[in-house]
Chains A and B, each alone.
Chain A
């Protein structure tokens, strides 16, 4: 059951839910940019499907966030009328889509994270959060299967696909640490039984990633330097992406269909 929350608790929960929602909203949008540009017809549809799944999950997290905040902002207000600095996604999901290998490797890195994260959130003491996680868990199992199968096919494929996949791994690696680096909010949410244990998620992530990359004959970069914005610092790409994403809603505020 939801505990009766102090306003500090609510503010933390609001922040935590924004992180969950923004990761999926931004990544869903990046995936949707493939619509009409997929390398093959079936992948065009697959990526659009996955984008819809992610945006659907984001809707639920952001809606709950708006209710938690209690200032009358619903999921659309949060998605379309916040500035870039207010977004709480990790940097990895806001990077431009790149080529197909880049998109697939990024998707695989995120899916492996999301899968283990949601597995923990299923047991959150916050009933609604656990419910949203349960819905996403079914979807992310398929996403993970799809992206890991493709990572293996690209890595253990032709010379060109292998080179592009390896480059994608090399380029993305320094962005992966941010997903597993908890701050005070993550730690307090975990202590309350609401949130997940990020380092534990990270361990399982490394295990899956090493396994799949190994089978894909791809190598993990040796460097260990990890970029981080702490979910508050964004790359220059986010602003451009939001400009495209938000312009219709901002041009016609209050419109409904």
Chain B
């Protein structure tokens, strides 16, 4: 339902509107905003965007599963439960305002990451794990 959002990098001019917004919202005569103050967020009259991370089972890392719009943290958590915890086991959800996330700038991915990639002596790839330890 949403593609990977486009986070702003530390060098950008300001927040970039999220790319992954759902297609035109269906509107009818129902009342729209129920928030105390519809924060500016991104786009005209749009609620703030939140990123959702879910944990499939105890002890596993939380994984990014998508994003949603909500007026506040409580609503974001409930929406995340309805949208992202429908299928498959979920034991924990995190919702984080997208604005709180700083992402590495995509234009500079080369200079940012490549220097590490070609120093193979830093990578622990030549160590053979003893049979007894596999799956530990």
Contacts and interface: CB of A to CB of B under 8 A. Distances in A.
A149 B26 contact: no
Given A49-B86, A149-B74, A42 B68 contact: yes
B35 A153 contact: yes
Q: Is the interface of A mostly helix, strand, loop or mixed?
A: helix
Contacts of A38: 26, 30
Nearest to A34: B30
A155 to B, nearest CB: 9
A99 B69 contact: no
A39 interface: yes
B78 A145 contact: yes
A41 B1 contact: yes
B25 A154 contact: no
Counting chain A residues whose Cβ lies within 8 A of the other chain, the interface size class is 20 to 34
Contacts of B75: 149, 153
B31 A156 contact: no
Contacts of B25: 40-41
Interface of A: 36-46, 49, 99-101, 142, 145-146, 149-150, 153-154, 156-158, 160-161, 164
27 contacts: A36-B26, A38-B26, A39-B30, A39-B32, A40-B69, A41-B1, A41-B68, A41-B83, A42-B70, A42-B79, A42-B83, A45-B82, A49-B82, A99-B30, A100-B30, A101-B30, A142-B81, A153-B34, A153-B71, A154-B34, A157-B33, A157-B35, A158-B31, A158-B34, A160-B31, A161-B31, A161-B34
Interface of B: 1, 22, 25-36, 47, 68-71, 74-75, 78-79, 81-83, 86
